[in-house]
Structure 1
């Protein structure tokens, strides 16, 4: 294993994961931009923050609303202000539906299109465009990892995807080793990232792996939505210590959570409390307890301050506490008293705005840049292709089980239609054999939807943080699937083709293989396009099966082409169905040039089964190839349309109102 390099020869800024207490920013009278880091930061051996990478984020009058068709716009955030600075971690807390995630997404520039934003958000006192690698956004909802890779493999491949192409391979490996060591993942290096009780890693460890991937290029702004969701005990404490270590290393860390334990609360730095879209408190964790006590809501002794804040500012808790008023130590908070609390908080909000946020806006710091350049597109493509190939090779359920099932299915068809002759009665049997072979293979491709859905979901999470482009992902995924689809086409087909006694010519057999191969590529491409728009894998399998049935019905065998109703079924369904083009080519390949019971192949194909005479069987292959390209291109478009993310400049900084 490579040795962790020192801070001088690292190609990027890195953090030391150490927890050191720091003074409250409210008691400091120094400039928020030019003030030196706390003394504890001098003990950090691997990182020194320069003027190019330090990020002091400030915002004021941030208002976010969502349009509703039947009523007036719903205001989610109402005039929120605050700041976040290096060497300290900001935690946004509040009850459910209080606007925590919306504020975090507004600060990171990741609001959805339906959201209307107003406000002023600045970095180092400037409205500036964020360059590559300056920020990262993490959320447990998109916590998808390649299950067939080990932790070390995933970090190394991510380093090759994110670090510059001109960086030597040894230095990329050293960066991956260093980040893995700093995040405490060395002992898990050779364990798979899948959720498995024996060979996999836990949920908290998966979250650390996701965080480690984003730290490969040393972002200055780290946003973490619902950081402790689904974690308990030691996992929460471990993740918090890592985040505090990143803050002490010079990063600006902003996370949101609904509730923390009393032990975790003591480790928090700055706190922003929200309720119904309004800010109730902004300051350090100790000042929060004093603020609520001054407002008439002191925290009971030996009570968790986080619980106390949640019960106090959450209106939904009043109805729950009313029946137990005489049994609870917490007294019922009347609506008038809560309004007094909000008025006091409003005054405190004005205090924060004038004392700190205004200072951040007026005193401009350095422009935030990251000296790391994006790798070349060619390097991203080869790395993605290798990762997809490695992941699909190790995933038994993706292709290997499909190959086995395809072999058994084709073997069954071959034994059912064993040794077909050239009599008149064999015409229908040959047609049924070809139809069942094609349709069965197409329906087996639906089983790959869950894996494609996970691939797309993982790509979207990486795309949000600008790991690589959509086109590279789709093309690399397509190329990685080609060898397996060739095996599915060739190996099972041999067992059926020769057992059934289909046309014995070598060219005829090659055409059958190529036709089936292209049909599988088209089907795979169609399933990937469906995986880009469905909310979950099960819905994708249902929709994929329905589409396959629809294309099968208009393919020309179940109902002849001339007998299809022209509205919808013939135009355009029969023309966009790749089943129709594939089946027509297979029938032309099998029957043309031969005689069966006195009937010519042309009569069978064009007369008995009413397939159109044009295009020919070779044109059918070109049409299938064009459909495969079309569906892959459609996947690129669907990913961009469905998960398009607004940049920080366009949504919060460049369009912010002063």
Structure 2
């Protein structure tokens, strides 16, 4: 073992990348000053001096107390202790396909109802190596990666997948593995360093100090080659940010921040130039050498990338046409009768030949059969070696391998050396408790919102403009019958507007949907933490918008109630914003498309307004539609503000001759109205003068059918609707974000 002594006044590296780096790479890294992770970048002379100090120690010299030994590992793979081996045998996966109704019966019989995407795939991947899955588009590369990463629903996949001979539990796999999707799903307004830091706070345990997490991020930035881009935002179409290759390396970084044992990647070089693609695979090689198993799909690797790969699996229409080392490709195809020219890229030749065979009458059947016989011949030649390897694997349990990996410095989402009888109990399901997850999620959301203030500014502007228009249209309403009708119209429009302005919450989750699915698929945080954080972060903006709308309209319209009335008016508007935001958030979890979501939101809110009781009283609604009246979100805030406005028993809204307003007698002269009023008084036996109060606020409420709930009950019901839709949003996330194929 090579050993290096580092001084304790610098914290030790937070990962095992440096600890397992072969000495020749360590020497090269020292030449460029690239060893970081909490330790000051040493020069080559300092590094060699430390190696010399260790050799003195091994020869009998005493080591000073202020120095610490860091194990760099052994560069000889045969001497590495307790390696991981991921084996998969006879993987078969098929899906149902839809066929046209116009297809003939003969066509239906010749074409089965299912399509086989994986057909009896077997192989293995080892610690310290990169296994690459190659093939043309539609060959089953991504499907095989998904199968190995447990991204196919249980029961759909046939075959076995084992790690060190033991079946992998779903819970354990989520903790010790990571999956890098083909698309770079990142928050555009966060910098590279912030993106990785948030990933560290999610995936690394809270027992690690802030400085150690920061050191881990710095070491990872150095390893990914992102030092110059650390302070640059990710960027999107409207904001210039990092390059495509840097984005891809950041995507890899957020998934390996916890130093996973298994790393799956779906075409990590897709869309990159040859240099960027080579740098990405070079990073993956370092990750593998740190003690991980790296499995990736790649479409067509270059010659340089091929030199970094350890094992290859070529697929054609779900079948294996080659499995083995890249070095054996020339021999394989030479024995098949198609030797690879020295001037051609091996993988390009292989893929071209596979495509040519796929277009022939017999397809790739001959190549598939030849691969099976070739593999059997190869295994018989290496029978003794394979027996020794099997003996070594039998003595290596998964629990011992994970324990050894943790002791070597693997972070693995807060795993410890203390474990129980099962290997899955060695690591927690989540690295942090839910309140820590909420705090990190809140911080990330606030950071994103602060970087894009125009989003809240536009929403605030819309609320202020709407409030200004309503204030000027309904300026200082009087207490006449027309004033009553105008108040009813103002309240109906104001309450429905608060719900319509919440529609901007629809794209918020839709933009984060796939980031959320990627992060929760491998237990970065709980879904409940996300829902609670999403709700808490929305509250300050809703409070500010409610106060702005209430202050703009209450006093300008001349609503009743004074300060207490204004306070309730503000609360009911806030409750409406809360319920509307929760409702739209729930729909965003159900509907995956923005335009479809807007259409549904506008339609449903229109129905809510229709059945709220403004256009038609409750007692006039047909019995078969009355249920919609009670689930209308607009009903309860509308009734609440009406009771807040018309609850004063001393306030009169219709006096004497005003009772003829809004009737055919409303246009006759005043004197005629007085005579009609006198005649009506004598007929009824009640003295009704022009100043007699005929209709109070309570009468208005009875006319509108608002007699069931008090205004405070309406407020409570509105708030409860908000919580109800948040719970539905959580259930929707549980059911629809499994991130697995069916």
Fold shared per TM-score above 0.5: yes
What residue in structure 1 maps to residue 735 of structure 2? 641
**CA distance in 2 between partners of 1:577 and 1:343 (Å):** 65
In structure 2, the CA distance between the partners of 1:18 and 1:233, relative to structure 1 (3 Å rule), is farther
What residue in structure 1 maps to residue 698 of structure 2? 602
Q: Secondary structure at the match of 1:254?
A: strand
What residue in structure 2 maps to residue 655 of structure 1? none
How does 1:409-488 map onto structure 2 within 5 Å? 409-488=466-545
What residue in structure 1 maps to residue 715 of structure 2? 621
How does 1:476-515 map onto structure 2 within 5 Å? 476-515=533-572
What residue in structure 2 maps to residue 590 of structure 1? 645
Contact 1:414 1:496 in 2 (8 A): yes
Are positions 1:578 and 2:633 aligned together?
A: yes
How does 1:533-544 map onto structure 2 within 5 Å? 533-544=590-601
Are positions 1:345 and 2:366 aligned together?
A: no
Shift of 1:350: 4.1
**CA distance in 2 between partners of 1:405 and 1:433 (Å):** 17
Shift of 1:490: 0.6
In structure 2, the CA distance between the partners of 1:275 and 1:357, relative to structure 1 (3 Å rule), is farther
Contact 1:7 1:47 in 2 (8 A): no
How does 1:222-371 map onto structure 2 within 5 Å? 222-300=263-341, 302-314=343-355, 318=359, 334-336=360-362, 338-350=364-376, 363-364=393-394, 365-367=396-398, 368-369=401-402, 370=406
Are positions 1:165 and 2:206 aligned together?
A: yes
Contact 1:136 1:219 in 2 (8 A): yes
- Cα shift readout 1:383-402 (whole Å, capped 9, x = no counterpart): 21222222223323542321
What residue in structure 2 maps to residue 562 of structure 1? 619
Are positions 1:64 and 2:93 aligned together?
A: yes
Contact 1:7 1:46 in 2 (8 A): no
Q: Which deviates the most, 541-550 or 213-222? A: 541-550
Contact 2:22 2:73 in 1 (8 A): no
Contact 2:510 2:592 in 1 (8 A): no
In structure 2, the CA distance between the partners of 1:128 and 1:266, relative to structure 1 (3 Å rule), is closer
In structure 2, the CA distance between the partners of 1:220 and 1:353, relative to structure 1 (3 Å rule), is farther
Q: Secondary structure at the match of 1:140?
A: coil
Shift of 1:279: 0.4
**CA distance in 1 between partners of 2:80 and 2:727 (Å):** 42
**CA distance in 2 between partners of 1:217 and 1:643 (Å):** 22
Gapped regions of structure 1 (runs ≥ 5): 23-42, 319-333, 652-658
Shift of 1:290: 3.1
**CA distance in 2 between partners of 1:5 and 1:340 (Å):** 62
Aligned residues: 604
Shift of 1:251: 1.3
Shift of 1:53: 8.2
**CA distance in 2 between partners of 1:21 and 1:94 (Å):** 34
Contact 1:591 1:604 in 2 (8 A): yes
Shift of 1:309: 2.6
**CA distance in 1 between partners of 2:153 and 2:449 (Å):** 33
Larger Rg over CA atoms? 2
In structure 2, the CA distance between the partners of 1:504 and 1:302, relative to structure 1 (3 Å rule), is farther
In structure 2, the CA distance between the partners of 1:351 and 1:631, relative to structure 1 (3 Å rule), is farther
**CA distance in 2 between partners of 1:18 and 1:238 (Å):** 18
Q: Which deviates the most, 175-184 or 225-234? A: 225-234
Q: Secondary structure at the match of 1:9?
A: coil
In structure 2, the CA distance between the partners of 1:448 and 1:159, relative to structure 1 (3 Å rule), is same
**CA distance in 2 between partners of 1:622 and 1:53 (Å):** 61
Contact 2:644 2:711 in 1 (8 A): yes
Which of 123, 127, 152 aligns to 2:163? It is 123
In structure 2, the CA distance between the partners of 1:348 and 1:316, relative to structure 1 (3 Å rule), is closer
In structure 2, the CA distance between the partners of 1:317 and 1:75, relative to structure 1 (3 Å rule), is closer
How does 1:26-37 map onto structure 2 within 5 Å? none
Q: Secondary structure at the match of 1:615?
A: coil
CA RMSD of aligned residues (A): 3.2
Are positions 1:140 and 2:182 aligned together?
A: yes
Which of 166, 189, 204 aligns to 2:245? It is 204
Gapped regions of structure 2 (runs ≥ 5): 1-5, 26-50, 52-69, 100-111, 416-430, 656-694
In structure 2, the CA distance between the partners of 1:401 and 1:350, relative to structure 1 (3 Å rule), is farther
Q: Secondary structure at the match of 2:167?
A: coil
Shift of 1:8: 7.9
- Cα shift readout 1:64-97 (whole Å, capped 9, x = no counterpart): 1224587543322111111111222111011222
TM (norm. structure 2) is 0.75
Shift of 1:520: 1.0
Are positions 1:213 and 2:254 aligned together?
A: yes
In structure 2, the CA distance between the partners of 1:98 and 1:471, relative to structure 1 (3 Å rule), is same
Q: Secondary structure at the match of 2:432?
A: coil
In structure 2, the CA distance between the partners of 1:257 and 1:614, relative to structure 1 (3 Å rule), is same
Q: Which deviates the most, 623-632 or 598-607? A: 598-607
In structure 2, the CA distance between the partners of 1:560 and 1:148, relative to structure 1 (3 Å rule), is farther
TM (norm. structure 1) is 0.84
Which of 579, 588, 609 aligns to 1:531? It is 588
Q: Secondary structure at the match of 1:112?
A: coil
Q: Secondary structure at the match of 1:273?
A: strand
**CA distance in 2 between partners of 1:166 and 1:241 (Å):** 32
Contact 2:640 2:711 in 1 (8 A): yes
Contact 2:354 2:364 in 1 (8 A): yes
What residue in structure 2 maps to residue 88 of structure 1? 129
**CA distance in 1 between partners of 2:278 and 2:611 (Å):** 59
Shift of 1:110: 1.2
**CA distance in 1 between partners of 2:145 and 2:113 (Å):** 24
Higher relative contact order, structure no. (Cα contacts within 8 Å, ≥ 6 residues apart): 1
How does 1:39-58 map onto structure 2 within 5 Å? 48=73, 54-58=83-87
Contact 2:517 2:739 in 1 (8 A): no
Shift of 1:198: 5.9
Q: Which deviates the most, 275-284 or 143-152? A: 143-152
Q: Secondary structure at the match of 2:613?
A: coil
In structure 2, the CA distance between the partners of 1:526 and 1:472, relative to structure 1 (3 Å rule), is same
